[in-house]
Structures are given as structure tokens and as C-alpha cells.
């Protein structure tokens, strides 16, 4: 393996990697190497450009921390997250579609009872969310685990404020025996993905904005059904057609209805205006 040149280098690398006993690793690496080399050839990559690329990837790594995941942002803004999500969750007709996970989910969210206020002091207008968890035949799935997370009315997640002593705007609930879920929160607003780092610079250089349309994240699990990771977006909201991370699906847009003061959906009275949203989730079984 000497005297390699621009024509022979690709095969040489593939041959070097061929000794792995892990077939899948070999398949993925062979494709990655071929596509990377093809890319460099196609654009006639200069040394200066590749040096810039190395510096960019280095800075993406350097800004990462337990609460700042720049590589997820890079994957999201390049559409890779949406591609991988779409090809791994081809839902049967009628089932709720999945969308990107994003970097703001954390383990250990507080547990709440149905009807509780998961905003836990987050600022924003009152919002009552309800719906059902169903199977493909329209039958109710009992006791699903429902985890939600969201931004506040200024577009920030709790994890972006390290001084907070408790989680806000996220929680775990259990649907009842009839598949019903309901809880209170505050209306989240559209927000820019973190853009003070290398991914933000990349978007700026490409003349792209960093905004995501207003949404609420859901992760729903029930024994025997495929885990659903998705969002529900606000009908009529900004950026639905230019989401910075390509996550919007028409089937995931719902009306967030404004009400004047009056009776609230889960009982009681609100002396300020409030919003409601109703959304049913349809899960597919694990083997589909
Ligand atoms: C989110 O919706 O939380 C999100 C998704 C992708 C990138 C940044 C944020
Ligand atoms: Fe989000």
C-alpha cells in the first residue's frame, strides 16, 4: 500500500477497513469513506477549505456540554435528523407522525398527576392541553406514559437557565384507563435554536434564520407500541414553512384556541383569558 494517489486512495482505505468482524460497522464505514471521498472530488476541496472544515467541527465539539449539544443542532440544521427520523419511523397510514427529538429533552423530569400544571412557574398565558392515546383501530390505549417538554413565552427551555432550582415546562404524566390525558401549562412561543455558536455562524453564512415554530414536545410510550417522539405545532404560527430544523408535518399542526375568562376545561374558573389544545395520538404496534 504505497504510492497512493487520488484515484487509488479510496480503494486502499476500504481494504484497510475490511478486516472488521462487525459487518454493519464495515458497511457503514465503507459507505461513509466512499461518500466523503466523492464529496472531496466533486467540489475539488482545497486544503484551505478542509482546514476550515476541521476548525469548524472542532469548534462544534468544543462548545458541547451536558446542556449544550451543538452536534445535534448541526445534524438538525443539515436535515440529517429529519432524514434519519423519517426513514426509521415510517408510520402506518393514520398513525401520528414522528419528528425530531431536539437537544432539550432531559432525563429525570418531574412526575405529575393528570390535570396538574407542568409549567411549574414558567411564564406565559395559561394553556389547557388534552386528548387521547389510541391504537390504529381507534381503541383507547390505557395508562400510556406521556412526557412533555416546552419553551416559555420568551422561547427558552428551563435547561437554558442553569440558575433554576427546579425543572419548569416539562413533566411525565400517565394517561388514565380510558387513554385520556390532560394537563395545564403555559403557551410556548416560537424560538431561535441556540445560534451563538458555530452552527449559528453556519446559518448566517447561508443566509438562513435560526427560528422554530411554536410547539410542544411529546414522547409517548405504552407496552406493545412503538415509542412516539413528536411535537404538536400551533396552527397559523410563524415559521411553519421555514423551520430551521425541518421538523414540521401538516398532521402535527393543531388549533391552539384562545378563550375569554370563564369555565376552564378540567373544572374551575379562570378570571384571565386562556388557551386550549386538544390532540389525539395514534400509536402503531411495535412489530409494524
Ligand atoms: C427543539 O425543538 O427543542 C429543537 C429541535 C432541534 C434543534 C433545536 C431545538
Ligand atoms: Fe423544542
Q: What are phi and psi of 31, to 5 degrees?
A: -70, -45
Q: For residues 17 and 247, give the distance between their C-alpha atoms in angstroms, rounded to a whole number.
A: 35
pTM of the predicted model as reported, rounded to 2 decimal places: 0.92
Q: Which atom of ligand 1 is nearest to the CA of 231?
A: 2
Separation of alpha carbons 210 and 197, rounded Å: 12
End-to-end CA distance of the chain: 47
The 10s digit of each residue's pLDDT in 115-160 is 999 999 999 999 999 999 999 999 999 999 999 999 999 999 999 8
Ligand 2 ion local residues (Cβ < 5 A): 102
How many angstroms is it from 55 CA to the middle of ligand 2?
28
In tens, the pLDDT along 215-270 reads 999 999 999 999 999 999 999 999 999 999 999 999 999 999 999 999 998 888 99
Ligand 1, closest atom to CA 151? 3
Contact between 191 and 151 (Cβ < 8 Å): yes
Q: Whose CA is nearest to atom 6 of ligand 1?
A: 102
Distance CA 173, CA 159 (A): 20
3-state secondary structure of 87: helix
**CB 250 within 8 Å of CB 241:** no
Amino acid at each position: 500500500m504505497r504510492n497512493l494517489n487520488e484515484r487509488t486512495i479510496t480503494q486502499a482505505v476500504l481494504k484497510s477497513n475490511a478486516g472488521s468482524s462487525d459487518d454493519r460497522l464495515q458497511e457503514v464505514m465503507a459507505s461513509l469513506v466512499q461518500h466523503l471521498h466523492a464529496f472531496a472530488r466533486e467540489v475539488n476541496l482545497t486544503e484551505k477549505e478542509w482546514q476550515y472544515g476541521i476548525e469548524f467541527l472542532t469548534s462544534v465539539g468544543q462548545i458541547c456540554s451536558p446542556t449544550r449539544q451543538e452536534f445535534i443542532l448541526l445534524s438538525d440544521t443539515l436535515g440529517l435528523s429529519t432524514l434519519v427520523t423519517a426513514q426509521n419511523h415510517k408510520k402506518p397510514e393514520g398513525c401520528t407522525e414522528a419528528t425530531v427529538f431536539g437537544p432539550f429533552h432531559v432525563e429525570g423530569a418531574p412526575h405529575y398527576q393528570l390535570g396538574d400544571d407542568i409549567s411549574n412557574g414558567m411564564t406565559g398565558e395559561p394553556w389547557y392541553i388534552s386528548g387521547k392515546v389510541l391504537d390504529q383501530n381507534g381503541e383507547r390505549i390505557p395508562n400510556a406514559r406521556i412526557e412533555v417538554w416546552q419553551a416559555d413565552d420568551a422561547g427558552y427551555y428551563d435547561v437554558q437557565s442553569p440558575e433554576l432550582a427546579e425543572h419548569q415546562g416539562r413533566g411525565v404524566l400517565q394517561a388514565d384507563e380510558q387513554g385520556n390525558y390532560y394537563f395545564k401549562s403555559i403557551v410556548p412561543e416560537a424560538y431561535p435554536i441556540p445560534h451563538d455558536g458555530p452552527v449559528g455562524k453556519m446559518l448566517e453564512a447561508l443566509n438562513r434564520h435560526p427560528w422554530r415554530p411554536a410547539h410542544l414536545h411529546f414522547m409517548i410510550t405504552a407496552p406493545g407500541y412503538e415509542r412516539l417522539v413528536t411535537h404538536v405545532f400551533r396552527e397559523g404560527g410563524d415559521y411553519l414553512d421555514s423551520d430551521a430544523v425541518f421538523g414540521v408535518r401538516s398532521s402535527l399542526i393543531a388549533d391552539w384556541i384562545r378563550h375569554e375568562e370563564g369555565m376552564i376545561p378540567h373544572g374551575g374558573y379562570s378570571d384571565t383569558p386562556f388557551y386550549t389544545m386538544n390532540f389525539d395520538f395514534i400509536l402503531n404496534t411495535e412489530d409494524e
